Amino acid sequence: MNYEEMTLEELERTLTRKERLFVEEYEKDGNGTQAAIRAGYTPGKGNASAAVQASKLLRSAKVSAYRRARAIELCRQLGLSPERIRLHAMDVYRKCMNEKPVMKYDPDTREWVESGEYVIDSKGALKALELLGKPIGAFERDSQADRMRVEDDPITKALKEERSDGLL
């Protein structure tokens, strides 16, 4: 049975009530052991039984497919698509790359003043680039990104346009 091809409703019918409840509880806090207990599985000594049950459930193909289907449905309801998420990641990257002045305290005037140095949010910029690059295999050897003609790359095109507009 290929769970990945099933609809959310079909997947719901393949799961027990406890399995569905486990997924709902797991979505609340990401704690598998506590989600299993809240879903009605036996905690066991030191919550060991619930931890084992949670581990089994999280490795289950049908539970994984159900979790993914629920996430996709939520994104659909929120109007999120992979393209929209990539556009927002690009916006975050641009904002992180904006230079901000480093402020220093001037004891004479007792005020914060610009030091003449500027910084960017490199951590945020790198995370945005990671999110943008992963789907195209930018960090794998002999990746799709390596095989792409650079001028055909949509992100490279967008960056070139920004540079020509004086934005970068």
| pLDDT at residue 80 in the model | 87
Tell me, yes or no, whether 38 and 62 share the same domain: yes
CB atoms near residue 22 (< 10 Å): 28
- The one-digit pLDDT tens for each residue of the chain (168 residues) are 899 889 999 999 999 999 999 999 999 999 999 999 999 999 989 989 999 999 999 999 999 999 999 999 998 899 888 888 889 999 999 999 999 999 999 999 999 999 999 999 999 999 999 988 888 887 777 655 555 555 566 777 777 777 676 555
| pLDDT at residue 1 in the model | 81
Task: Write out the residue range of the structural domain in which residue 48 sits.
Answer: 3-78
- Where among 21, 54, 78 does a domain terminate? 78
Tokens, residue 144 = 């799709």
Distance CA 145, CA 129 (A): 13
- Where among 50, 78, 106 does a domain terminate? 78
- Where among 43, 78, 113 does a domain terminate? 78
Number of domains making up the chain: 2
Tell me, yes or no, whether 86 and 157 share the same domain: yes
Plot region of 137 (φ>0 → left; ψ -120 to 50 → alpha; else → beta): left
| pLDDT at residue 137 in the model | 80
Q: Are strands 100-106 and 111-119 parallel, antiparallel or unpaired?
A: antiparallel
| pLDDT at residue 103 in the model | 96
Tell me, yes or no, whether 74 and 99 share the same domain: no
Tell me, yes or no, whether 99 and 148 share the same domain: yes
The DSSP 8-state label assigned to residue 134 in this structure reads G
| pLDDT at residue 144 in the model | 56
Tokens, residue 152 = 């055909």
Tokens, residue 147 = 């095989």
